[in-house]
Structure formats: structure tokens, C-alpha cells
Amino acid sequence: MKKAKKGRTVPKARKMKATKVAPSVVKARAEGLRLFKVAGRPTREQVILVYGERGPVMTWAERAKAGVPAKKFQTALAGKKSGR
């Protein structure tokens, strides 16, 4: 390590503070990731094509209420791409 020149101070390294996350948040995120995988890992454009402009900001539960659950996403996407 280099020594600091006389009269100059070396900035201290900042430590990241650990944040506590509620277990319910962790479970909800894990479920969302699971459903994302079930849906075939769709891109943002694919989600917009199937669910509309609000698609990316919706949760998977909201998307299921809209009529296309994660298990049927690829089928719906194929229908939209073919022009049905």
C-alpha cells in the first residue's frame, strides 16, 4: 500500500449497513421468481405484448386475475405472435 502524502487524508472505506427484510417479503419475492421461471422467463417486451402496458408493473397474482396465469403465458404469447 502507498503511504498518504503529508497533509493529505486518506478517505475511509464505507461499510454497508445490513438491512433486515421481513420474512413475508422474502417469501413473496421467492414466489414471484418461481412464477417467472414457470412462465418461461419472459422478456419485458413479451410481457407487454400479452398483458399490455401495465404488464411489467403487475404482480403475478394480478396478471392471473387479468386472465393469463404464469402456466399459460407461453400459450398466450404464441397466440399474440401469430396474430390471433
Q: pLDDT 10s per residue in the chain (84 long)?
A: 666 566 667 778 888 888 888 999 999 999 999 999 999 999 999 999 999 999 999 999 999 999 999 999 999 999 998 875
The pLDDT, as a whole number, for residue 63 is 96
- CB 46, CB 40: distance < 8 Å: no
- CB 69, CB 63: distance < 8 Å: yes
Q: Which three cell numbers stand for residue 55?
A: 404488464
The pLDDT, as a whole number, for residue 77 is 96
- CB 14, CB 42: distance < 8 Å: no
Total-model pTM: 0.71
